[in-house]
Protein backbone atom coordinates (compact mmCIF):
# COMPACT_ATOMS: atom_id res chain seq x y z
CA UNK A 1 0.00 0.00 0.00
CA UNK A 2 1.61 3.27 -1.06
CA UNK A 3 2.03 6.11 1.41
CA UNK A 4 -0.07 9.27 1.18
CA UNK A 5 3.03 11.10 -0.04
CA UNK A 6 3.64 8.63 -2.87
CA UNK A 7 -0.02 8.59 -3.87
CA UNK A 8 -0.07 12.39 -4.10
CA UNK A 9 3.16 12.58 -6.11
CA UNK A 10 1.89 9.89 -8.50
CA UNK A 11 -1.32 11.89 -9.03
CA UNK A 12 0.72 15.08 -9.52
CA UNK A 13 2.91 13.31 -12.08
CA UNK A 14 -0.18 11.98 -13.90
CA UNK A 15 -1.62 15.50 -14.02
CA UNK A 16 1.60 16.83 -15.57
CA UNK A 17 1.74 13.99 -18.10
CA UNK A 18 -1.38 15.38 -19.77
CA UNK A 19 0.78 18.27 -21.07
CA UNK A 20 2.59 18.25 -24.41
CA UNK A 21 6.03 18.38 -22.76
CA UNK A 22 7.94 15.26 -21.74
CA UNK A 23 7.52 14.67 -17.99
CA UNK A 24 9.99 12.69 -15.87
CA UNK A 25 10.27 12.04 -12.15
CA UNK A 26 13.59 12.30 -10.32
CA UNK A 27 15.63 11.74 -13.49
CA UNK A 28 18.83 13.46 -14.58
CA UNK A 29 18.62 16.11 -17.26
CA UNK A 30 18.88 14.28 -20.60
CA UNK A 31 21.37 15.33 -23.28
CA UNK A 32 18.55 16.30 -25.66
CA UNK A 33 15.56 18.39 -24.74
CA UNK A 34 12.31 17.39 -26.50
CA UNK A 35 10.86 19.99 -28.86
CA UNK A 36 7.79 20.53 -26.64
CA UNK A 37 9.98 21.02 -23.55
CA UNK A 38 10.85 18.97 -20.50
CA UNK A 39 9.47 18.88 -16.96
CA UNK A 40 11.25 16.94 -14.22
CA UNK A 41 9.28 16.42 -11.00
CA UNK A 42 11.53 16.32 -7.93
CA UNK A 43 10.01 14.80 -4.79
CA UNK A 44 11.14 17.70 -2.60
CA UNK A 45 10.79 17.91 1.16
CA UNK A 46 7.71 17.44 3.33
CA UNK A 47 9.06 19.75 6.05
CA UNK A 48 7.94 19.66 9.65
CA UNK A 49 4.24 18.90 9.97
CA UNK A 50 1.76 20.65 12.19
CA UNK A 51 0.23 18.03 14.46
CA UNK A 52 -3.29 17.94 15.83
CA UNK A 53 -4.49 15.52 18.48
CA UNK A 54 -7.77 13.66 18.89
CA UNK A 55 -7.69 12.34 16.27
CA UNK A 56 -3.97 12.41 15.65
CA UNK A 57 -3.22 14.03 12.27
CA UNK A 58 -0.09 15.36 10.58
CA UNK A 59 -0.61 18.38 8.33
CA UNK A 60 2.15 18.84 5.75
CA UNK A 61 3.11 21.64 3.42
CA UNK A 62 5.25 19.50 1.15
CA UNK A 63 7.52 21.45 -1.22
CA UNK A 64 7.96 19.52 -4.47
CA UNK A 65 9.92 21.04 -7.34
CA UNK A 66 9.44 21.14 -11.09
CA UNK A 67 12.48 21.67 -13.27
CA UNK A 68 11.15 23.16 -16.50
CA UNK A 69 13.41 23.36 -19.57
CA UNK A 70 12.87 24.41 -23.17
CA UNK A 71 15.35 24.61 -26.01
CA UNK A 72 14.21 26.34 -29.16
CA UNK A 73 16.20 28.16 -31.79
CA UNK A 74 13.29 30.54 -32.43
CA UNK A 75 10.86 32.01 -29.92
CA UNK A 76 12.44 30.31 -26.91
CA UNK A 77 10.84 32.82 -24.52
CA UNK A 78 7.41 32.24 -26.05
CA UNK A 79 7.78 28.44 -25.89
CA UNK A 80 8.87 28.70 -22.26
CA UNK A 81 5.96 30.97 -21.38
CA UNK A 82 3.51 28.62 -23.08
CA UNK A 83 4.85 25.66 -21.11
CA UNK A 84 4.71 27.55 -17.79
CA UNK A 85 1.14 28.66 -18.53
CA UNK A 86 0.11 25.09 -19.37
CA UNK A 87 1.48 23.89 -16.01
CA UNK A 88 -0.50 26.60 -14.27
CA UNK A 89 -3.69 25.66 -16.13
CA UNK A 90 -3.23 21.95 -15.34
CA UNK A 91 -2.92 22.73 -11.63
CA UNK A 92 -5.80 25.21 -11.60
CA UNK A 93 -8.10 22.60 -13.17
CA UNK A 94 -7.91 20.54 -9.97
CA UNK A 95 -6.21 22.17 -6.99
CA UNK A 96 -6.85 19.07 -4.84
CA UNK A 97 -5.51 16.39 -7.21
CA UNK A 98 -8.79 14.51 -7.07
CA UNK A 99 -9.25 15.12 -3.34
CA UNK A 100 -5.82 13.79 -2.32
CA UNK A 101 -4.56 17.23 -1.25
CA UNK A 102 -6.19 20.05 0.62
CA UNK A 103 -4.59 22.49 -1.83
CA UNK A 104 -1.85 22.66 -4.48
CA UNK A 105 -0.09 26.02 -4.86
CA UNK A 106 2.69 26.74 -7.37
CA UNK A 107 5.15 29.53 -6.68
CA UNK A 108 6.37 31.92 -9.36
CA UNK A 109 9.29 30.63 -11.46
CA UNK A 110 12.67 32.33 -11.59
CA UNK A 111 13.90 31.62 -15.11
CA UNK A 112 17.46 31.56 -16.38
CA UNK A 113 19.05 31.24 -19.81
CA UNK A 114 21.69 28.52 -20.00
CA UNK A 115 24.13 28.66 -22.92
CA UNK A 116 24.91 25.38 -24.69
CA UNK A 117 28.04 25.15 -26.81
CA UNK A 118 27.14 24.50 -30.45
CA UNK A 119 23.36 24.52 -29.88
CA UNK A 120 20.46 26.78 -29.01
CA UNK A 121 20.51 28.00 -25.43
CA UNK A 122 18.22 26.46 -22.83
CA UNK A 123 15.64 28.45 -20.94
CA UNK A 124 14.96 26.86 -17.58
CA UNK A 125 13.30 27.44 -14.23
CA UNK A 126 12.61 25.67 -10.99
CA UNK A 127 9.01 25.98 -9.84
CA UNK A 128 8.29 25.07 -6.25
CA UNK A 129 4.84 23.56 -5.81
CA UNK A 130 3.47 23.40 -2.27
CA UNK A 131 1.28 20.35 -1.66
CA UNK A 132 -0.93 20.77 1.43
CA UNK A 133 -2.13 17.43 2.76
CA UNK A 134 -2.94 15.53 5.95
CA UNK A 135 -1.90 12.04 7.03
CA UNK A 136 -2.46 9.83 10.05
CA UNK A 137 1.30 9.43 10.59
CA UNK A 138 4.69 10.50 9.25
CA UNK A 139 5.04 7.16 7.41
CA UNK A 140 1.38 6.74 6.42
Angle between helices 76-93 and 4-16 (to 10 degrees): 130
Q: 70 near 122, Cβ under 8 Å?
A: yes
The domain tally of the chain equals: 1
Establish if 102 belongs to a structural domain: yes
10-residue averages of pLDDT along the chain (140 residues): 94 97 96 93 96 96 97 87 97 96 96 82 94 95
Establish if 117 belongs to a structural domain: yes
| Cα–Cα nearest to 64, from 48, 49, 42, 87 | 42
Establish if 140 belongs to a structural domain: no
State the Rg of the chain over Cα: 17
For the domain that residue 95 is a member of, what is the CATH number?
3.30.2000.10
For residue 36, the enclosing domain spans: 4-135
pLDDT of residue 57: 97
Give SS3 for 46. Answer: coil
pLDDT of residue 127: 97
Q: Cβ of 48: how many Cβ atoms within 10 Å? A: 9
pLDDT of residue 78: 92
| Cα–Cα nearest to 70, from 107, 32, 99 | 32
Q: pTM of the full predicted structure?
A: 0.93
Amino acid sequence: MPTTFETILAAFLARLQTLSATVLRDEVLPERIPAAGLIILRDGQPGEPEVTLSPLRYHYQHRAELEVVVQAANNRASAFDTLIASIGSALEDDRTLGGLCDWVEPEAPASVDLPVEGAAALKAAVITVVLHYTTTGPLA
